[in-house]
């Protein structure tokens, strides 16, 4: 990047941070304060931590009428390539959410795990215990390669799935930062002491350099018939090409991204574009080349437009691909004709192909918790404690219990039923495919509710779909509390994005494959008007769909104007 460009101040914070140390260790030792300085809070993201406050508590007052002030707490995100979590690691995370968190454990939309409500005094112990299970929070957030996603289905008879995971693991290993800041700050040595944090010895950081990336970089690996990890919404998506039962390479998709900044019209969501075909053993090299192109040419003066998708939009594919090839040192082949054709949710009982089964359990909005009627948290603990099976997180925020012997199935079903866990096959299709981001009260950026109101919206939608005879339709709905799009709301059949307090932008026309952007159908829809707004669209779909046409395809074919015209006059309240 030319020197004369004015860098965003975040760049200086990273550059001066002594490889992501900042003064985190000093502030950690400072017991008086319950939070970190702004600069350190930014650096903490690279360590997997978000400094947040309980926004429900902001309005609370002292007896004298003054505000209580922010109740600081931290979100601790574990980075898990392919979402693979051994039994002891899941049990540890469940223990930690009880002991230090808000008694819930959240499966993220990118196959990670999140603890919420951890106070500063408990951060170190929390991170230490997670690392003892061989998982890490390092690299779960921040301006680096994030969690590398991969189809989690444990199809043991199929070597292709193992190769996908090996590719994801290899990319994660290659692109992890080399700084030793994380272990120095958070982990104890064998004598129970933290390593000496006062002496700084820089290590070679060959990929990231001193400033790390301009912003985050996301990757995922999938197969055409099962894009369950939604690879077209990431900076890098690798679509496995299988011939004669063997993986021969990947179609490389680049420049996807869901985030939008409301105040910046220059920001937009995108679906990744097909760039090239590469062999299996080239995938890591291509991922590294892409990250290095982004490092050197991404926008470091404006974080709003710092993602790879804006570089691709500015350059165009020809220049972009040529530059990646320069970094790679060789030309890449033209893409294979294959595209995304299907998506699976992997829920319910499924055969692994090795005589054992796996069970996909639906977790509402990924929030593992106990409620009065559904004690999924206790059920999972009991099942995993009893059978010690490995688990995997899905990109739809659900959990797979793996390697189950047929003799164990009845007992597992009984434990789940005893805890009120509804089998996935008894869930409606729309609920199985729904997602909502955390939003209020923990996310500092949320404008509206999301996770807390989604179950109510689904209740209404289920009734409406049944009433119209559409209950069996495959319709995906994703909701977020702000335009940042963490639950990927710009590509499903129905997207709901928090716009202003209590009101949402309603997107239609995406699809469950994640291969098409939805369009803005109505803006500023009040929460209570969401389902009444969708109701006539569903009726129109029922009457005018082509044979076998899916809801998203119908909305895309009609387009916003024709759909609105078909519905007749609407008081849109805009
Ligand atoms: Fe927070 Fe917005 Fe992400 Fe939801 S989409 S978790 S409100 S930043």
Question: Where are the strands (E) in 9-144, listed by range?
Answer: 49-53, 72-78, 84-85, 105-107, 113-118
Q: How far is CA 45 from the centre of its chain?
A: 15
CB 573 within 8 A of CB 524: yes
What is the rounded distance in angstroms from the CA atom of residue 130 to the CA atom of residue 258? 29
Q: What is the pLDDT along the chain (574 residues), one digit of tens a residue?
A: 555 679 999 999 999 999 999 999 999 998 889 999 999 999 999 999 999 988 887 777 777 777 777 889 999 999 999 999 999 999 999 999 999 999 999 999 999 999 999 999 999 999 999 999 999 999 999 999 999 999 999 997 889 999 999 999 999 999 999 999 999 999 966 565 655 455 788 899 999 999 999 999 999 999 999 999 999 999 999 999 999 999 999 999 999 999 998 778 899 999 999 999 999 999 999 999 999 999 999 999 999 999 999 999 999 999 999 999 999 999 999 999 999 999 999 999 999 999 999 999 999 999 999 999 999 999 999 999 999 999 999 999 999 999 999 999 999 999 999 999 999 999 999 999 999 999 999 898 999 999 999 999 999 999 999 999 999 999 999 999 999 999 999 999 999 999 999 999 999 999 999 999 999 999 999 999 999 999 999 999 999 999 999 999 999 999 999 999 878 766 554 4
Pocket residue to mutate for ligand 1, from 484, 489, 505, most atoms within 8 A of Cβ: 484
Overall pTM surpassing 0.75 (yes/no): yes
Q: In what helix (H) or strand (E) does residue 314 lie, and over which residues does it extend?
A: helix 308-315
Residue 77 is a catalytic residue: yes
Taking each helix axis as running N to C, give the angle between helix 87-99 and helix 376-387, from 0 to 180 degrees, rounded to the nearest 10: 140
Query: Distances in Å between the alpha carbon of 114 and those of 37, 79, 131, 438, 468?
Result: 22, 9, 14, 10, 38
Partners of 498 in the β-ladder:
504
Query: Distances in Å between the alpha carbon of 471 and those of 228, 401, 430, 529?
Result: 22, 28, 8, 20
Measured in degrees and rounded to the nearest 5, phi and psi for residue 168 equal -60, -45
Partners of 149 in the β-ladder:
220
Marked catalytic residue, from 141, 151, 437, 555? 437
Residue for token pair 């206790």: 378
The pLDDT value given to residue 1: 53
Residue 110 is a catalytic residue: no
CB 308 within 8 A of CB 290: yes
The pLDDT value given to residue 198: 57
Residue 295 structure tokens: 């490092």
CB 560 within 8 A of CB 520: yes
CB 115 within 8 A of CB 76: yes
What is the rounded distance in angstroms from the CA atom of residue 412 to the CA atom of residue 389? 11
User: Which fold, 431-567?
Assistant: Sulfite Reductase Hemoprotein; domain 1 (3.30.413)
Residue 443 is a catalytic residue: yes
User: What's 335's DSSP letter?
Assistant: P
Angle at CA 450, nearest 5°, toward 446 and 456?
Answer: 155
First to last CA, the chain: 42
CATH of domain 348-425: 3.90.480.10
Angle at CA 481, nearest 5°, toward 521 and 310?
Answer: 70
The pLDDT value given to residue 224: 98
Nearest ligand 1 atom to the CA of 485 is 5
The pLDDT value given to residue 193: 61
- CATH 3.90.480.10 residue ranges in the chain? 348-425
- CATH 3.30.413.10 residue ranges in the chain? 431-567
For 343, what's the count of Cα atoms within 13 Å in the CB-facing half-sphere? 22
The pLDDT value given to residue 573: 45
Instruction: Compute, in angstroms, the gap from residue 509 CA to the centroid of ligand 1.
Output: 22
Site residues for ligand 1, CB cut-off 6 Å: 437-439, 443, 445-446, 450, 480-482, 484-486
Residue 216 is a catalytic residue: yes
What is residue 403's three-state secondary structure? strand
Residue for token pair 């350099």: 209
Which of these, 132, 109, 18, lies nearest to 484 by C-alpha position?
Answer: 109
Q: Phi-psi region for residue 474, left (φ > 0), alpha (ψ -120 to 50) or beta?
A: beta
Instruction: Compute, in angstroms, the gap from residue 444 CA to the centroid of ligand 1.
Output: 8
Pocket residue to mutate for ligand 1, from 116, 262, 450, most atoms within 8 A of Cβ: 450
Residue 205 structure tokens: 């950081």
What is the rounded distance in angstroms from the CA atom of residue 520 to the CA atom of residue 204? 46
């Amino acid at each position: 990047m030319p020197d004369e460009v004015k860098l965003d101040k975040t760049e200086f914070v990273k550059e001066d941070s002594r490889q992501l140390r900042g003064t985190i260790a000093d502030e950690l030792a400072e017991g008086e304060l319950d939070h970190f300085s702004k600069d350190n809070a930014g650096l903490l993201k690279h360590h997997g931590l978000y400094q947040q406050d309980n926004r429900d508590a902001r309005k609370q007052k002292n007896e004298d009428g003054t505000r209580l002030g922010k109740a600081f707490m931290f979100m601790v995100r574990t980075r898990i390539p392919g979402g693979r979590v051994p039994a002891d690691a899941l049990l540890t995370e469940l223990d930690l959410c009880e002991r230090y968190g808000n008694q819930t454990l959240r499966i993220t939309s990118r196959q990670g795990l999140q603890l919420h409500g951890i106070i500063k005094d408990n951060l170190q112990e929390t991170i230490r215990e997670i690392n003892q299970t061989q998982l890490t929070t390092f690299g779960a957030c921040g301006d680096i390669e994030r969690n590398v996603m991969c189809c989690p289905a444990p199809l043991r008879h199929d070597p292709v799935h193992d190769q996908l995971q090996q590719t994801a693991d290899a990319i994660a290993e290659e692109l992890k930062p080399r700084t030793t800041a994380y272990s120095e700050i958070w982990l104890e040595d064998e004598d129970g002491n933290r390593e000496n944090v006062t002496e700084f010895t820089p290590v070679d950081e060959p990929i990231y350099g001193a400033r790390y990336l301009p912003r985050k970089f996301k990757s995922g690996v999938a197969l055409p018939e099962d894009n369950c990890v939604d690879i077209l919404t990431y900076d890098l998506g690798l679509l496995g090409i299988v011939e004669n039962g063997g993986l021969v390479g990947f179609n490389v998709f680049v420049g996807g991204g869901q985030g939008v900044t409301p105040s910046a019209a220059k920001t937009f969501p995108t679906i990744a574009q097909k760039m090239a075909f590469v062999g299996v053993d080239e995938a890591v090299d291509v991922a590294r080349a892409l990250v290095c192109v982004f490092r050197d040419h991404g926008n470091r003066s404006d974080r709003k437009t710092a993602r790879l998708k804006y570089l691709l939009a500015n350059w165009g594919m020809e220049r972009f691909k040529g530059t990646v090839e320069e970094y790679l040192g060789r030309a890449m082949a033209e893409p294979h004709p294959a595209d995304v054709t299907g998506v699976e949710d992997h829920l319910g009982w499924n055969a692994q192909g090795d005589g054992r089964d796996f069970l996909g359990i639906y977790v509402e909005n990924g929030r593992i918790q106990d409620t009065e009627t559904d004690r999924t948290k206790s059920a999972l603990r009991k099942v995993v404690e009893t059978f010690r099976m490995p688990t995997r997180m899905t990109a739809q925020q659900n959990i797979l219990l793996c390697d189950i012997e047929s003799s164990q199935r009845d007992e597992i079903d009984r434990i789940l039923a005893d805890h009120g866990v509804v089998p996935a096959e008894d869930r409606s299709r729309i609920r199985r495919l729904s997602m909502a981001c955390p939003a209020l009260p923990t996310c500092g950026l949320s404008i509206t509710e999301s996770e807390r109101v989604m179950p109510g919206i689904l209740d209404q939608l289920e009734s409406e779909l049944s009433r119209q005879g559409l209950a069996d339709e495959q319709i995906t709905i994703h909701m977020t509390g702000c335009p940042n799009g963490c639950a990927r709301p710009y590509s499903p059949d129905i997207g709901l994005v928090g716009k202003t307090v209590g009101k949402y932008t309603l997107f239609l026309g995406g699809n469950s494959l994640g291969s098409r952007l939805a369009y803005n159908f109505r803006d500023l829809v009040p929460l209570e008007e969401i389902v009444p707004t969708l109701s006539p669209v569903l009726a129109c779909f029922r009457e005018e769909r082509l044979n076998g046409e899916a809801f998203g395809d119908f909305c895309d074919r009609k387009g916003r104007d024709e759909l609105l015209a078909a519905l007749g006059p609407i008081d849109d309240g805009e």
